[in-house]
Protein backbone atom coordinates (compact mmCIF):
# COMPACT_ATOMS: atom_id res chain seq x y z
CA UNK A 1 0.00 0.00 0.00
CA UNK A 2 1.05 3.59 -0.58
CA UNK A 3 1.20 5.75 2.57
CA UNK A 4 0.78 9.49 2.12
CA UNK A 5 2.60 11.70 4.61
CA UNK A 6 3.90 15.18 5.22
CA UNK A 7 7.66 15.54 4.89
CA UNK A 8 8.63 16.88 8.32
CA UNK A 9 10.87 14.75 10.52
CA UNK A 10 8.09 14.21 13.03
CA UNK A 11 5.56 13.26 10.34
CA UNK A 12 8.02 10.77 8.86
CA UNK A 13 8.72 9.23 12.27
CA UNK A 14 4.98 8.73 12.76
CA UNK A 15 4.50 7.33 9.26
CA UNK A 16 7.39 4.89 9.58
CA UNK A 17 6.00 3.67 12.88
CA UNK A 18 2.73 2.84 11.12
CA UNK A 19 4.64 1.20 8.26
CA UNK A 20 6.53 -0.97 10.76
CA UNK A 21 3.31 -1.98 12.51
CA UNK A 22 1.71 -2.91 9.18
CA UNK A 23 4.78 -4.90 8.20
CA UNK A 24 4.35 -6.95 11.39
CA UNK A 25 0.90 -7.82 10.01
CA UNK A 26 2.43 -8.88 6.68
CA UNK A 27 1.54 -5.68 4.80
CA UNK A 28 4.25 -3.92 2.77
CA UNK A 29 4.08 -0.16 2.18
CA UNK A 30 5.69 2.60 0.12
CA UNK A 31 5.99 6.20 1.32
CA UNK A 32 4.78 9.20 -0.68
CA UNK A 33 5.54 12.68 0.67
CA UNK A 34 2.98 15.41 0.02
CA UNK A 35 3.51 19.05 0.94
CA UNK A 36 0.60 20.88 2.56
CA UNK A 37 -0.21 24.59 2.87
CA UNK A 38 0.67 24.36 6.55
CA UNK A 39 4.17 23.23 5.53
CA UNK A 40 4.62 25.76 2.72
CA UNK A 41 3.65 28.91 4.55
CA UNK A 42 5.78 28.84 7.70
CA UNK A 43 6.35 32.61 7.61
CA UNK A 44 2.85 33.45 8.85
CA UNK A 45 0.39 32.40 11.56
CA UNK A 46 -1.85 29.44 10.78
CA UNK A 47 -4.92 31.67 10.72
CA UNK A 48 -3.42 33.44 7.70
CA UNK A 49 -3.01 30.23 5.72
CA UNK A 50 -5.73 30.32 3.06
CA UNK A 51 -7.03 26.80 3.64
CA UNK A 52 -7.92 27.66 7.25
CA UNK A 53 -9.41 24.43 8.55
CA UNK A 54 -7.17 21.47 7.85
CA UNK A 55 -4.05 23.42 6.85
CA UNK A 56 -1.93 20.27 7.33
CA UNK A 57 -4.48 17.86 5.91
CA UNK A 58 -6.32 19.02 2.79
CA UNK A 59 -3.66 18.17 0.21
CA UNK A 60 -3.27 14.68 1.64
CA UNK A 61 -7.04 14.19 1.47
CA UNK A 62 -7.10 15.40 -2.15
CA UNK A 63 -4.24 13.08 -3.11
CA UNK A 64 -6.01 10.09 -1.60
CA UNK A 65 -9.27 10.81 -3.38
CA UNK A 66 -7.78 11.82 -6.75
CA UNK A 67 -4.62 9.74 -7.00
CA UNK A 68 -5.55 6.55 -5.20
CA UNK A 69 -3.16 6.79 -2.27
CA UNK A 70 -4.58 4.11 0.00
CA UNK A 71 -3.72 5.46 3.45
CA UNK A 72 -2.36 8.58 5.14
CA UNK A 73 -0.90 9.14 8.60
CA UNK A 74 -1.83 12.24 10.59
CA UNK A 75 -1.42 13.82 13.98
CA UNK A 76 -5.08 13.34 14.82
CA UNK A 77 -5.46 16.84 16.29
CA UNK A 78 -4.89 18.23 12.76
CA UNK A 79 -7.90 16.38 11.32
CA UNK A 80 -10.97 18.64 10.92
CA UNK A 81 -14.18 17.50 12.60
CA UNK A 82 -15.99 17.27 9.25
CA UNK A 83 -14.29 14.77 6.93
CA UNK A 84 -14.79 13.83 3.24
CA UNK A 85 -17.22 10.95 2.71
CA UNK A 86 -14.58 9.12 0.65
CA UNK A 87 -12.24 8.80 3.62
CA UNK A 88 -12.41 6.77 6.87
CA UNK A 89 -10.36 7.10 10.03
CA UNK A 90 -9.55 3.40 10.04
CA UNK A 91 -7.22 3.28 13.04
CA UNK A 92 -6.30 5.30 16.09
CA UNK A 93 -2.99 4.27 17.62
CA UNK A 94 -2.55 4.07 21.41
CA UNK A 95 -2.35 7.60 22.70
CA UNK A 96 0.97 9.13 23.71
CA UNK A 97 1.26 12.03 26.17
CA UNK A 98 -1.60 14.55 25.76
CA UNK A 99 0.27 17.26 27.68
CA UNK A 100 1.58 20.64 26.56
CA UNK A 101 5.07 21.33 27.86
CA UNK A 102 7.08 24.50 28.46
CA UNK A 103 10.70 24.49 27.32
CA UNK A 104 13.19 27.10 28.49
CA UNK A 105 16.98 27.14 28.37
CA UNK A 106 17.10 27.24 32.19
CA UNK A 107 14.37 24.64 32.79
CA UNK A 108 11.98 27.14 34.39
CA UNK A 109 8.36 26.43 35.27
CA UNK A 110 5.62 28.73 34.04
CA UNK A 111 5.45 30.36 37.49
CA UNK A 112 9.22 30.98 37.48
CA UNK A 113 9.24 32.84 34.17
CA UNK A 114 10.22 36.51 34.55
CA UNK A 115 7.59 39.18 34.11
CA UNK A 116 6.81 39.96 30.45
CA UNK A 117 8.72 36.87 29.31
CA UNK A 118 8.43 36.17 25.57
CA UNK A 119 6.77 32.82 24.87
CA UNK A 120 6.54 31.30 21.40
CA UNK A 121 3.56 29.30 20.15
CA UNK A 122 1.62 28.96 16.90
CA UNK A 123 -1.58 27.91 18.69
CA UNK A 124 -4.38 30.34 19.47
CA UNK A 125 -5.55 27.94 22.19
CA UNK A 126 -2.17 27.95 23.91
CA UNK A 127 -1.96 31.73 23.53
CA UNK A 128 -5.34 32.19 25.22
CA UNK A 129 -4.57 29.73 28.02
CA UNK A 130 -1.17 31.30 28.69
CA UNK A 131 -2.67 34.80 28.89
CA UNK A 132 -5.41 33.57 31.21
CA UNK A 133 -2.79 32.15 33.58
CA UNK A 134 -0.12 34.82 33.15
CA UNK A 135 -1.56 38.00 31.54
CA UNK A 136 1.86 39.66 31.75
CA UNK A 137 3.46 37.24 29.27
CA UNK A 138 4.29 38.39 25.75
CA UNK A 139 3.07 35.75 23.29
CA UNK A 140 4.75 35.72 19.89
CA UNK A 141 4.19 33.60 16.82
CA UNK A 142 6.32 30.46 16.48
CA UNK A 143 6.12 28.50 13.23
CA UNK A 144 8.30 25.85 11.62
CA UNK A 145 8.95 22.19 12.30
CA UNK A 146 9.99 20.93 15.72
CA UNK A 147 13.71 21.28 14.95
CA UNK A 148 13.27 24.90 13.84
CA UNK A 149 11.30 25.78 16.96
CA UNK A 150 13.95 24.33 19.25
CA UNK A 151 16.69 26.16 17.35
CA UNK A 152 14.88 29.48 17.78
CA UNK A 153 14.66 28.86 21.53
CA UNK A 154 18.37 28.04 21.69
CA UNK A 155 19.20 31.23 19.75
CA UNK A 156 17.38 33.28 22.40
CA UNK A 157 14.51 34.48 20.20
CA UNK A 158 12.14 33.39 22.96
CA UNK A 159 12.34 32.98 26.73
CA UNK A 160 10.29 29.82 26.36
CA UNK A 161 8.26 27.85 23.85
CA UNK A 162 5.23 25.57 24.18
CA UNK A 163 5.17 22.20 22.41
CA UNK A 164 3.18 18.98 22.56
CA UNK A 165 5.08 16.50 24.71
CA UNK A 166 4.09 13.65 22.39
CA UNK A 167 6.20 15.12 19.59
CA UNK A 168 9.30 15.14 21.77
CA UNK A 169 8.66 11.56 22.84
CA UNK A 170 8.21 10.33 19.27
CA UNK A 171 11.46 11.98 18.25
CA UNK A 172 13.20 10.10 21.05
CA UNK A 173 14.05 13.25 23.01
CA UNK A 174 12.85 11.91 26.34
CA UNK A 175 15.77 13.43 28.26
CA UNK A 176 14.99 16.97 27.09
CA UNK A 177 14.26 19.20 30.12
CA UNK A 178 10.67 20.42 30.07
CA UNK A 179 7.80 21.31 32.38
CA UNK A 180 4.38 19.75 31.91
CA UNK A 181 1.52 22.24 32.01
CA UNK A 182 -1.42 21.36 34.24
CA UNK A 183 -4.06 19.67 32.11
CA UNK A 184 -6.97 21.38 33.90
CA UNK A 185 -5.63 24.88 33.25
CA UNK A 186 -4.08 23.99 29.88
CA UNK A 187 -6.59 21.54 28.42
CA UNK A 188 -5.00 20.24 25.20
CA UNK A 189 -6.37 20.36 21.68
CA UNK A 190 -8.87 17.59 20.95
CA UNK A 191 -6.95 14.38 20.08
CA UNK A 192 -3.54 15.81 21.02
CA UNK A 193 -0.95 13.05 21.41
CA UNK A 194 -2.75 10.67 19.06
CA UNK A 195 -1.79 9.36 15.61
CA UNK A 196 -4.62 8.49 13.22
CA UNK A 197 -4.48 6.45 10.02
CA UNK A 198 -6.95 7.44 7.33
CA UNK A 199 -7.96 5.04 4.55
CA UNK A 200 -9.98 5.22 1.33
CA UNK A 201 -13.53 4.13 2.10
CA UNK A 202 -14.64 0.88 0.49
CA UNK A 203 -11.13 -0.43 -0.13
CA UNK A 204 -9.22 -3.34 1.42
CA UNK A 205 -7.01 -0.73 3.11
CA UNK A 206 -9.76 -0.05 5.67
CA UNK A 207 -9.73 -3.58 7.07
CA UNK A 208 -5.94 -3.83 6.87
CA UNK A 209 -5.39 -0.61 8.82
CA UNK A 210 -8.12 -1.49 11.35
CA UNK A 211 -5.77 -4.17 12.69
CA UNK A 212 -3.79 -1.33 14.31
CA UNK A 213 -6.73 0.30 16.05
CA UNK A 214 -6.66 0.88 19.81
CA UNK A 215 -10.29 0.86 20.95
CA UNK A 216 -9.72 2.82 24.16
CA UNK A 217 -7.91 5.65 22.38
CA UNK A 218 -10.52 5.61 19.61
CA UNK A 219 -13.34 6.09 22.12
CA UNK A 220 -11.54 8.86 24.01
CA UNK A 221 -10.69 10.79 20.83
CA UNK A 222 -14.21 10.35 19.44
CA UNK A 223 -15.64 11.76 22.66
CA UNK A 224 -13.39 14.81 22.36
CA UNK A 225 -14.66 15.42 18.84
CA UNK A 226 -18.29 14.98 19.86
CA UNK A 227 -17.94 17.43 22.75
CA UNK A 228 -16.57 20.25 20.57
CA UNK A 229 -18.58 19.49 17.41
CA UNK A 230 -21.39 21.98 18.09
CA UNK A 231 -18.89 24.80 18.67
CA UNK A 232 -18.11 24.66 14.92
CA UNK A 233 -14.61 26.00 15.48
CA UNK A 234 -11.62 25.34 13.24
CA UNK A 235 -8.08 24.32 14.10
CA UNK A 236 -7.20 27.94 14.92
CA UNK A 237 -10.08 28.49 17.38
CA UNK A 238 -9.10 28.43 21.10
CA UNK A 239 -10.75 25.11 21.99
CA UNK A 240 -9.47 22.32 24.23
CA UNK A 241 -10.87 18.87 25.03
CA UNK A 242 -9.53 15.84 26.84
CA UNK A 243 -11.29 12.56 27.66
CA UNK A 244 -9.75 9.76 29.72
CA UNK A 245 -11.07 6.46 31.03
CA UNK A 246 -10.96 6.08 34.78
CA UNK A 247 -8.90 3.15 36.07
CA UNK A 248 -12.00 0.99 36.64
CA UNK A 249 -13.03 1.40 32.99
CA UNK A 250 -16.63 2.26 33.90
CA UNK A 251 -16.49 6.05 33.69
CA UNK A 252 -14.75 8.55 31.43
CA UNK A 253 -13.75 11.98 32.64
CA UNK A 254 -14.32 14.67 30.01
CA UNK A 255 -12.84 18.16 30.14
CA UNK A 256 -13.53 20.71 27.42
CA UNK A 257 -13.37 24.47 27.07
CA UNK A 258 -13.52 27.35 24.63
CA UNK A 259 -11.74 30.64 25.30
CA UNK A 260 -11.62 34.18 24.00
CA UNK A 261 -8.41 34.86 22.10
CA UNK A 262 -7.09 37.10 24.88
CA UNK A 263 -7.87 34.53 27.57
CA UNK A 264 -10.13 36.84 29.57
CA UNK A 265 -13.26 34.72 29.00
CA UNK A 266 -13.80 30.97 28.95
CA UNK A 267 -16.61 28.43 29.12
CA UNK A 268 -15.78 24.90 30.24
CA UNK A 269 -17.27 21.57 31.22
CA UNK A 270 -15.72 18.89 33.41
CA UNK A 271 -17.89 15.81 33.87
CA UNK A 272 -17.76 12.04 34.12
CA UNK A 273 -19.80 10.05 31.63
CA UNK A 274 -20.72 6.37 31.42
CA UNK A 275 -18.45 4.06 29.41
CA UNK A 276 -21.59 2.14 28.38
CA UNK A 277 -23.38 5.16 26.91
CA UNK A 278 -20.46 7.41 26.02
CA UNK A 279 -21.56 8.60 22.58
CA UNK A 280 -24.97 9.88 23.67
CA UNK A 281 -23.64 11.46 26.86
CA UNK A 282 -20.73 13.11 25.03
CA UNK A 283 -23.09 14.66 22.49
CA UNK A 284 -25.26 16.00 25.31
CA UNK A 285 -22.21 17.43 27.04
CA UNK A 286 -21.19 19.12 23.81
CA UNK A 287 -24.60 20.71 23.42
CA UNK A 288 -24.42 21.93 27.03
CA UNK A 289 -21.03 23.51 26.31
CA UNK A 290 -22.28 25.19 23.13
CA UNK A 291 -25.59 26.38 24.59
CA UNK A 292 -24.08 27.76 27.81
CA UNK A 293 -22.17 30.41 25.87
CA UNK A 294 -19.47 28.29 24.28
CA UNK A 295 -20.83 28.62 20.73
CA UNK A 296 -21.04 32.39 21.08
CA UNK A 297 -17.50 32.59 22.45
CA UNK A 298 -16.22 30.42 19.58
CA UNK A 299 -17.96 32.68 17.06
CA UNK A 300 -16.38 35.75 18.68
CA UNK A 301 -12.96 34.10 18.44
CA UNK A 302 -13.50 33.21 14.78
CA UNK A 303 -14.51 36.81 14.01
CA UNK A 304 -11.45 38.15 15.85
CA UNK A 305 -9.14 35.80 13.96
CA UNK A 306 -10.71 36.86 10.65
CA UNK A 307 -10.15 40.52 11.56
CA UNK A 308 -6.47 39.78 12.23
CA UNK A 309 -6.21 38.04 8.87
CA UNK A 310 -7.88 40.95 7.06
CA UNK A 311 -5.54 43.45 8.74
CA UNK A 312 -2.46 41.47 7.68
CA UNK A 313 -3.72 41.20 4.09
CA UNK A 314 -4.27 44.97 3.91
CA UNK A 315 -0.65 45.54 4.93
pLDDT tens readout for residues 120-172: 998 999 999 999 999 999 999 998 888 899 999 999 999 999 999 999 999 99
Rounded to an integer, what distance in angstroms lies between the CA atom of residue 247 and that of residue 267? 27
Write out the CATH class of domain 1-93+194-213.
alpha beta
User: What Cα–Cα distance (Å) separates residue 49 from each residue in 11, 41, 43, 91, 296?
Assistant: 20, 7, 10, 28, 24
> Would you state the pLDDT for residue 309?
66
pLDDT per residue over 241-275, tens digit each? Answer: 999 999 999 999 999 999 999 999 999 999 999 99
Q: What is the CATH architecture of 100-180?
A: 3-Layer(aba) Sandwich (3.40)
All structural domains of the chain with their residue ranges: 1-93+194-213, 100-180, 215-314
Active site residues: 78
Could you tell me which residues come within 8 angstroms of residue 299 by beta carbon, excluding any fewer than 6 positions away? none
Domains 1-93+194-213 and 100-180 share a fold: yes
The pTM of the full predicted model, rounded to 2 decimals, is 0.91
Bigger pLDDT: 46 or 190? Answer: 190
Mean pLDDT estimate for the chain: 91
Answer yes or no: CATH 2.30.130.10 is held by domain 215-314.
no
Amino acid sequence: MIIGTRGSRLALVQTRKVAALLKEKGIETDEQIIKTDGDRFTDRPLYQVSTGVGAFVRELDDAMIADGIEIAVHSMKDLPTVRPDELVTAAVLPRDSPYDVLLTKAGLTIDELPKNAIIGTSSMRRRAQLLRYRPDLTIEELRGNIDTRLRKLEEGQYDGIILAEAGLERMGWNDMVRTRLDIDMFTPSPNQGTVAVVALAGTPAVDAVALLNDEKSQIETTIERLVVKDLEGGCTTPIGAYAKFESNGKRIRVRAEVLSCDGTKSIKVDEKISADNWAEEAEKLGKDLANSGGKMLAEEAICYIQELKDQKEKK
